Structure formats: structure tokens, C-alpha cells
Amino acid sequence: MSVPTGLRSVAQYVDAVRAALDDLPAETVDDLVGGLEADLAESVAESVAESGDDVRQRFGPPAVYAAELRSAAGLPPRGRRATPVAAVLRRQWPAVRDGLVGLRPAWWVVRAALVAGAASVTLGGGYGGTASFLVLLVPLTALSVWLGRVRMPRLLVVGFGLVNAVGVLALLVGVNGYWVDAREGGGSGDWTPPGVSLDGYPIGNIQPYDAQGDPLTGVQLFDEQGRPLDLSPDHRVLVRDDGSVQELRPQVDATGEQRWNVYPVPGPAGTPGPAPTVAPLLQLQQQP
Amino acid sequence: MEPTQLLKGVLDLAVLAVVAQEDGYGYDVVRRLRAGGLAEVGDASVYGTLRRLYAAGALTSYVVPSDEGPHRKYYGINAQGTKVLAEQGESWRSFAAAVDRLLAAPGTAPTRVLRTTSLLEDEGTR
């Protein structure tokens, strides 16, 4: 075994021992492991010369070696709860805490919004709820920020922590509820009839007029993507004043296709088409 | 009693005695302990003991850089350590003397007891 390789493997061994001690304060670990590399290197050099044993054969598993080291040093054995994850968390905690402290102002606003939202829902939903939410939000935010910055007795701090926890739970439940509502709403509440509709209800016909207020016929309507604005298939009928129902008949184009986007859709043969009973409400001004 | 059990009780004393003769780094102390007859002594036990005695204020410590490899950490005894060595050395001598007297007393035959035990064990296993 060459010297550099031996030294490197000793260094790796010392690193492993150090890792097995990482539940201890860094200063203690440095005290324990400081100078260890030189001691081990010399010991290994001897054992290699005598028996050919390398560092692991000479000293056994690093964890066992570390346990003997700390036991002889009068330190407590590695705790069961001091898993590597816990050790990492403990080491990272200051950074995490600083990050959370930085988020506190945002939390002050969020909890004010939560209380305002809960209050406005209690007072009643709709526009009134929105208004009361906005009215409540400003003073509640001010109060929340003040509570966040003021120094409180310890007991109050604990109590407030509980209130905060309840607030977070409420937020989670609320968000979840909203999400479920939105999802279910997409399935049923937002159902729209096929074809052209107005305010959610299918329309029976379209009566086009020109700029002079004169009724037009044979007007083909398309949307911005070129899709025909067809009359709803469920409402291709004409309901007369006497309650009788007659089917409308669509325009037929040159290829024989029925076109339901040509307005006004005429009534059945022998009956007058939908009369222009609706007068134009305004005459458009002539564009220059 | 296991030799290692006995060793644990007197390792502080033995390490202090070795360092009191001359300053030494970890493996140097191990080697001198083994050369002195404590062949069973474990490296890690000695290193840990050195750290503990240092933390307890019985030893001084200094680092000697090395051109060839990692630096060496030397330990030396201080006034506190010398005092501990004198006190513990005294208790050890009286303790060892007492055990010696017990072992040398007429009528004690530890060898016979041991032999009986091993015979019984042999009967049981056969």
C-alpha cells in the first residue's frame, strides 16, 4: 500500500468517525477528532508493516470506533432519537427559523384576511359579504400587525400560538372546501346548453337589423374562430301565442347542408317566419 | 472480571502516569501503555481518555504541525493533573495492596474454585 493511498483511506475513516459523532456540538467533535488522523495514520502504518491490515481491519467499523471514543471521553452514547435527519434538522434550524421570521409580516396579513373572511361569511355572502370583508380587512390587518410586533407575556404568547394554529387549520379547510366546490361546480353548476344562448338560456331565434333598423334576412353568424353560431338543437321550434309548437326549418346551402346559423331561422312552410316583432331600440350612427 | 473492565477503572491513572513521564500525542501514549504491559488497551479508549482528561483540566494540549501529513496533537500534564495523579496513585496503591493481601491470605484458593466451576461446566456439557 502506498503512503498516499493509506493516508487517504485514513482520512476517509476519520470522516466516517466524525459523521458518527455528528449529534454532538461541533466544538466537541473537533476536540475528539482533532489530531486523530495523525494518530491513526501512524498506527496503521505500523499494522500494515506488521500484518498487512489496513485502517478498517485495524480499527473495525468507524461507528464502533466512534462509540468507544465518546464513551472513553465521558460523553453520552449516541441517542436513539438523534437520527441523521434530526441532526440535519437541528443544524438547519437557525436558517429555517430566520426564514420563517421573515415570513411573519405576510402571516399577519393572511390571518387578518382569514378573520375578515370568516366574519363576512358569517354576516352573509354575496356583495354585502365582499363589502364587509373589505371594510373589516383594513382595521384587522392593523390589529394583526400590532399584535405581531407587541411584546406579550409568555402565557399570552402560548395562547396566541394556539389561535394561530387554529387559523392555519381553518385556512386549510377553507381552501380545501373552495377547491372541492370549484371542482364539483365544473361538473354540474356550470352546465351550459349547446348552441347560442343568452345569460345561460338558449335563445329561440335571432332577429338581425341593419344600421337603418331594417330587418335583415339570410344573415350568417360565426364567432371569432369561424365556428357557426347555431341555434340550440333543443329549441329549433316556434312556440306560437296559442301554445302550439311548430318546428323551424333551417336554411339549406348549395351543397344541401342544413345551416342553423343563418338568421332569422324561417318558420315552417306556409307560416310566416318569425315576424320582426322586435323593433330596433336604436339606430346606429353612421360611421364616418 | 474482564481485563478491559479492570482497565477502564485505571486507564485515567495509567494515561496520566505515561503523560507525566513525557508529553505525548495519542498513538505515542497508546504505544507506551502497551509497552508498559497494558497490551489490551484500545486506541479509541486512550484517545477518548486523553480528551476527557484535557476537558477536565488535568492536561494541557498543543498542536505540532507536520510536513509529511496531518498535524499531531500533543498532551502534557499540568499542576491539576499532577495532583490528580498523586491522589489516584495513592488510592490505587492501597487498593492493589489490599487485593494482594487478600489473594495471599492462607486458605484462599481461587484456583480450586475455578477448577470446580470448570469441572461442573464440563459435566453439564458432556
3-class secondary structure per residue, chain B: CCHHHHHHHHHHHHHHHHHHHCCEEHHHHHHHHHHCCCCCCCHHHHHHHHHHHHHCCCEEEEEECCCCCCCEEEEEECHHHHHHHHHHHHHHHHHHHHHHHHHHCCCCCHHHHHHHHHHHHHHHHC
The pLDDT tens digits for B29-82 are: 999 999 999 888 888 999 999 999 998 999 999 998 877 778 889 999 999 999
- Span of A105-119, A194-208, B57-71, B108-122 with lowest mean pLDDT: B108-122
More confident residue, A69 or B120: A69
B52·A72 Cβ contact <8 A: yes
Cα dist. B61→A143, A150, B19, B58, B79 in Å?
Answer: 58, 50, 11, 10, 14
Given A35, A69, A73, which is nearest B25 (Cβ)?
A: A35
Query: Can you give the pLDDT at residue B79?
Result: 94
Query: Can you give the pLDDT at residue A218?
Result: 84
**Which of A44, A68, A46 shows the shortest CA–CA distance to A58?**
A44
- Residue A202: strand pairing partners: A197
More confident residue, A3 or A256: A256
B44·A42 Cβ contact <8 A: no
| Highest averaged pLDDT of the listed ranges A25-29, A114-118, A191-195, B112-116 | A25-29
Query: Can you give the pLDDT at residue B34?
Result: 93
Complex ipTM > 0.85: no
Chains A, B: CB contacts within 8 A come to: 81
Query: Can you give the pLDDT at residue B30?
Result: 94
B45·A43 Cβ contact <8 A: no
CATH of the domain at B100: 1.10.10.10
For A130-175, give the DSSP string.
HHHHHHHHHHHHHHHHHHHHS---HHHHHHHHHHHHHHHHHHHHHH
- Segment A180-196 shows an average pLDDT of 57
Q: Under a CB-based contact definition with an 8 Å cutoff, are residues A101 and A114 in contact?
A: no
Q: Nearest residue on chain A to B44, judged by CA atoms?
A: A69
B70·A43 Cβ contact <8 A: no
Q: Under a CB-based contact definition with an 8 Å cutoff, are residues A10 and A59 in contact?
A: no
Neighbour tally for A10: CB within 10 Å:
26
Cα dist. A160→A60, A163, A167, B51 in Å?
Answer: 53, 5, 10, 46
How far is it, in rounded angstroms, from Cα A167 to Cα A175?
Answer: 12
Residue ranges of alpha helices (H) inside A188-266 are none
- The pLDDT > 90 percentage for chain A reads 3
How far is it, in rounded angstroms, from Cα A138 to Cα A272?
Answer: 63
- In A, which residues are within 8 Å of B70 by CB distance? 7, 11, 35, 37-38, 41
How far is it, in rounded angstroms, from Cα B58 to Cα A82?
Answer: 31
What is the band of A122 on the pLDDT scale with cuts at 50, 70, 90? confident
Q: Under a CB-based contact definition with an 8 Å cutoff, are residues A38 and B71 in contact?
A: yes
How far is it, in rounded angstroms, from Cα A35 to Cα B26?
Answer: 8
Query: Can you give the pLDDT at residue B118?
Result: 45
The number of domains in chain B is 1
Query: Can you give the pLDDT at residue A240?
Result: 67
Joined together, the cell numbers standing for residue A132 give: 364587509
Joined together, the cell numbers standing for residue B3 give: 481485563
A182 has pLDDT over 60: no
Query: Can you give the pLDDT at residue B123?
Result: 45
Query: Can you give the pLDDT at residue B121?
Result: 47
* Residue A68, C-beta contacts closer than 8 angstroms, at least 6 positions apart: B42, B44, B45, B48
B69·A7 Cβ contact <8 A: yes
Q: Does any CB of chain B come closer than 8 Å to the CB of residue A38?
A: yes
Query: Can you give the pLDDT at residue B81?
Result: 94
- The pLDDT > 70 percentage for chain A reads 72
- CA dihedral B7→B8→B10→B13, nearest 10 degrees, is 120
DSSP state of A284: P
Q: Nearest residue on chain A to B9, judged by CA atoms?
A: A72
| Highest averaged pLDDT of the listed ranges A102-106, A116-120, A196-200, B73-77 | B73-77
Given B42, B46, B51, which is nearest A32 (Cβ)?
A: B51
- In A, which residues are within 8 Å of B43 by CB distance? 39-40, 43, 59, 65
- Rounded to 5 degrees, φ, ψ at A231 are -65, 145
DSSP state of A248: -
More confident residue, A87 or A43: A43
* Residue B72, C-beta contacts closer than 8 angstroms, at least 6 positions apart: A35, A38, A39, B25, B63, B64, B66
How far is it, in rounded angstroms, from Cα A213 to Cα A152?
Answer: 74
Query: Can you give the pLDDT at residue A8?
Result: 67
- Segment A27-43 shows an average pLDDT of 87
Q: Nearest residue on chain B to A44, judged by CA atoms?
A: B27
Smallest CA–CA separation between B104 and chain A, in Å? 33
- Span of A113-117, A185-189, B78-82 with lowest mean pLDDT: A185-189
- In A, which residues are within 8 Å of B72 by CB distance? 35, 38-39
The pLDDT tens digits for A232-286 are: 777 677 666 676 767 777 788 888 888 888 888 877 655 555 555 555 555 556 6
Domain range for residue B37? Answer: 3-125
